[in-house]
Amino acid sequence: MPSEPVNHGEADEPPNSKVARLLDSYELGEALGDRLQQLWTAEGDCRMSLRDLADLFNERVLEAAMTDAGMRPIDGEVENLYRLLTDSEVSSGNRTEARRELEQNGIDTEELERDFVTYQAIRSYLQDYRGATYQQESDTDRAEDVIQTLQRLQSRTRLVAEKNISQLESAGELSVGESRVSVNLSVFCTDCNTQYDLRELIEAGSCECDRE
């Protein structure tokens, strides 16, 4: 069952929380905080992971920034722009184009992207600021820690590759059109002869061996 939010009395100083600060500065309201807690503590398929909640929160931050700038995003536009800004598989050209669109409408993209939160910030907000708990959080968070580490490594590798490709192009040693560097990690199980994307395998919790 979802736990009740912590009641911060006037004599108590609430824990520092980036999420709580952004809820206030972007005028997102406590309703979004309530929704994050409800989705994190829900049962079964209704529950969302901390990583998915971070994406949800960041999309609402982006939507608020766009609305405040006078933009009127249509259905799916916020989610697509967020993907272009954050997905490691998006080409540098498409990411630059997305940033340019926002900047032309008066949005400081550097400040905006600094305001995007990680799943750790969501966890801190839910646990420390609101006092929420979830029975299976330890196992879930451990898997998310691994996934986040892998994503950082993939992103770093992609950025290094893109930088070197650009340097080779500038030196006249390489000619390539609009390109996108993709870094994939996969696991092949020799027992069940199946191959998985590493992230998908971690989220699934097992290969075909345990499903037979």
- The pLDDT value recorded for residue 207 is 78
- 23-40 per-position pLDDT tens digit: 999 999 889 999 999 999
* Residue 2 structure tokens: 């979802």
Least confident of 83-87, 98-102, 124-128, 163-167: 163-167
- The pLDDT value recorded for residue 177 is 82
String of b and e for 95-127 (b: at least 16 CB within 10 Å)? beebbeebeeeebebeebeebbbebbbbbbbbb
pTM, to two decimals: 0.61
What average pLDDT does range 154-168 have in this prediction? 84
CA distance 71 to 65: 9
Q: What is the mean pLDDT of the chain?
A: 84
